[in-house]
């Protein structure tokens, strides 16, 4: 209870509204799949996927900051949680996806064929 | 007292554990550090999923075609709606949880209890939904053929509007009398059950394909965002590679496509579901403590806050699972 005892209900409902809107937008885009997003590629992924991933990170931010109340914690606690996660996840994903793509290229372009 | 209650115990005793440099009690900080390590575990799983998907990017199943069921709407193609519903359940139970934490800060026992009860109900609804989702996934709908090389062949026919629609094995497979029996303990040659036999044999499917000129084979290969459909001649050649009839999904093979797809689905949603289950159990324990007035006497509802952190984390993971299994 380092923070004040006043009620945060208004903030909670605002964040719930935001999360709901984002989810609805995601689902709508996932069902409609507009061609100009779905068929335009950027760094090996189509734009629609980039939008989904960015919206997901936005949702994660609101869940962690508002619901898990990181916004009310001391900066050093906040960063000892967020910094390792951000660094390690980006590192891991970067390496594995590059490698996965490389293996795909090997199957695709060399004499070793995925026979299935 | 200092072990359970937050910073009110901060008295400036630097060396006796009274000092809290991060402004959080021991319990809350450890809950956070547990969450960090658990988040990295899930990241590892999801990154491995991403790796396999990029490795087989040309043949990976399309989620919309796999998860398209909705309760009481049998046979209707409804992609995404059901998971969207599950996502809302989980987000909403997160909201009731944070409202319980908020009420706890004001030491309102009844309010905390009501909100926690709602959170528990939300958790059970989510678990039930996931069980239903798994049931559909395991049961399968159309059936497929696995070739000697391990590829999955599905069957389609041209619909009235010109696009291809899936055909169930049962709709075209021929019937050939065989003497194959499902070996069970009661009449097997060894003390164990054999794997359940699929409804059709490979020969029946092949014969049915020959007899139905409108049925074509759809391969796993994605071209221009769609799975490739073979011509009639190619289909009749390709069916000669058939080795197994696949119905539904298990850890060895599944009718949706690449084997790893089902493995990752079972493993990641299963691991998440297990987290939800533990979360519900912990919530129930804390809920009972609230009712008993434990935190009322302690003058601190910090335990509700700690279990709340875990519950939000479960929601957080679902947000990512939702994106990477259903949307992307």
Q: What is the pLDDT of residue B285?
A: 95
Domain that holds residue B299: 22-140+261-327
Same domain, B316 and B230: no
The Cα-based distances of A106 to A100, B142, B195, B219, B227 in angstroms read 10, 33, 36, 21, 22
For residues B271 and B243, membership in a common domain is answered with no
Q: Are residues B133 and B163 in the same domain?
A: no
The pLDDT tens digits of the residues spanning B249-281 come to 888 888 898 889 999 999 999 999 999 999 999
Torsion, Cα of B142, B146, B147, B148 (10° steps)? -170
Q: Do A74 and B29 touch (CB under 8 A)?
A: no
Per-residue confidence (pLDDT) for residue B277, from 0 to 100: 95
More confident residue, B327 or A112: B327
Question: Mapping DSSP to helix (H, G, I), strand (E, B) and coil, where does residue B24 land?
Answer: coil
pLDDT band of B171, cuts 50, 70, 90: confident
- Of A105 and B10, the structure prediction assigns the larger pLDDT to A105
Statement: residue B192 has pLDDT above 60: yes
Of A60, A74, A100, the CB nearest to B52: A100
Shared domain check, B130 and B188: no
Picking from A20, A49, A115, the nearest residue to B149 by CB comes out as A115
Contacts with A92 from chain B: Cβ below 8 Å:
43-44, 47
Q: Which residues of B touch A54 (CB under 8 A)?
A: none
Beta carbon pairs, A and B, within 8 Å = 154
Among A80-89, B130-139, B291-300, the least confident range: B291-300
Integer Cα distance of B309 and A68 in angstroms: 6
Greatest mean pLDDT among B22-31, B73-82, B97-106 lies in B97-106
Backbone angles phi, psi at B158, to 5 degrees: -80, 125
Whole-angstrom distance, CA of residue B81 vs CA of residue B67: 9
Q: Which of B21, B43, B323 sits opposite A52 (nearest CB)?
A: B323
Would the CB atoms of A30 and B225 count as touching at under 8 Å? no
- Same domain membership, residue B172 and residue B95: no
Owner of token pair 């984390």: B313
Compare CB distances from A63 to B48, B54, B319 and report the shortest one's residue: B319
Residue A5 confidence (pLDDT) above 50: yes
CATH number at residue B36: 1.20.120.80
Q: Name the residue of chain B whose CA is nearest to A58's CA.
A: B319
Over the stretch A64-112, which tens digit does the pLDDT of each residue have?
A: 998 888 888 888 889 999 999 999 999 999 999 999 988 888 887 777 6
Q: Are residues B171 and B211 in the same domain?
A: yes
* B66-75, B91-100, B184-193: range with lowest mean pLDDT: B184-193
C-beta atoms of A23 and B87 within 8 A: yes
B39 domain-assigned: yes
In a domain, B15, yes or no: no
d(CA B204, CA B243): 12
ipTM comes to: 0.86
Of B247, B280, B298, which residue sits at a domain end? B247
Tell me, what's the pLDDT at A6? 62
Shared domain for B156 and B96, answered yes or no, is no
**pTM for the whole structure:** 0.85
Predicted local confidence at residue B4, as pLDDT? 47
CA distance A106 to chain B (A): 9
Number of domains in chain B: 2
pLDDT attached to residue B207: 84
Top mean-pLDDT range of A26-30, B96-100, B225-229, B231-235:
B96-100
Q: Which residue has the higher pLDDT, B49 or A6?
A: B49
Lowest mean pLDDT among B29-38, B41-50, B192-201, B286-295: B192-201
For residue B303, the chain A residue with the least C-alpha distance is A1
B8-17, B119-128, B253-262, range with greatest mean pLDDT = B119-128
């Amino acid at each position: 209870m380092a923070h004040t005892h006043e009620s945060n209900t208004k903030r909670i409902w605002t964040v719930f509204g935001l999360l709901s809107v984002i989810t609805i937008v995601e689902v709508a885009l996932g069902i409609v799949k507009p061609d100009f997003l779905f068929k335009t590629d950027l760094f090996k992924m189509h734009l629609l996927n980039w939008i989904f991933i960015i919206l997901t990170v936005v949702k994660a931010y609101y869940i962690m900051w508002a619901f898990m109340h990181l916004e009310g914690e001391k900066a050093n606690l906040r960063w000892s949680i967020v910094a390792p996660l951000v660094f390690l996840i980006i590192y891991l994903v970067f390496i594995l996806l590059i490698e996965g793509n490389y293996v795909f290229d090997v199957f695709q372009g060399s004499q070793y064929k995925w026979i299935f | 007292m200092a072990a359970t209650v937050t910073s009110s115990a901060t008295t400036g005793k630097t060396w006796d554990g009274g000092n809290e440099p991060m402004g959080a009690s021991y319990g809350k900080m450890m809950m956070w550090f547990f969450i960090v390590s658990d988040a990295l575990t899930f990241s590892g799983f999801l990154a491995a999923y991403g790796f396999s998907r990029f490795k087989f990017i040309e043949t990976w199943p399309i989620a919309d075609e796999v998860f398209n069921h909705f309760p009481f709407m049998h046979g209707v193609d409804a992609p995404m709606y059901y998971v969207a519903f599950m996502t809302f359940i989980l987000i909403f139970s997160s909201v009731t949880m944070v409202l319980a934490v908020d009420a706890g800060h004001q030491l309102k026992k009844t309010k905390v209890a009501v909100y926690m009860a709602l959170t528990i109900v939300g958790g059970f609804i989510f678990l039930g939904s996931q069980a239903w989702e798994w049931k559909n996934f395991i049961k399968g709908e159309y059936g497929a053929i696995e070739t000697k090389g391990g590829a999955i062949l599905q069957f389609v026919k041209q619909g009235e509007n010109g696009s291809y629609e899936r055909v169930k094995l049962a709709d075209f497979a021929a019937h050939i009398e065989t003497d194959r029996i499902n070996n069970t303990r009661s009449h097997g040659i060894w003390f164990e059950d054999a794997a359940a036999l699929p409804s059709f044999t490979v020969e029946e499917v092949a014969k049915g394909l020959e007899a139905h000129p409108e049925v074509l084979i759809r391969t796993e290969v994605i071209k221009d965002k769609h799975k490739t459909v073979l011509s009639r001649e190619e289909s009749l050649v390709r069916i000669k590679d058939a080795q197994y009839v696949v119905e539904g999904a298990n850890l060895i093979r599944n009718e949706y496509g690449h084997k790893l797809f089902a493995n990752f689905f079972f493993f990641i949603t299963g691991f998440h579901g297990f987290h939800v289950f533990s979360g519900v159990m912990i919530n129930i324990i804390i809920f009972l403590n609230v009712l008993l007035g434990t935190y009322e006497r302690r003058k601190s509802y910090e335990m509700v806050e700690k279990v709340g952190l875990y519950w939000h984390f479960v929601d957080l993971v679902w947000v990512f699972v939702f994106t990477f299994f259903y949307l992307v």
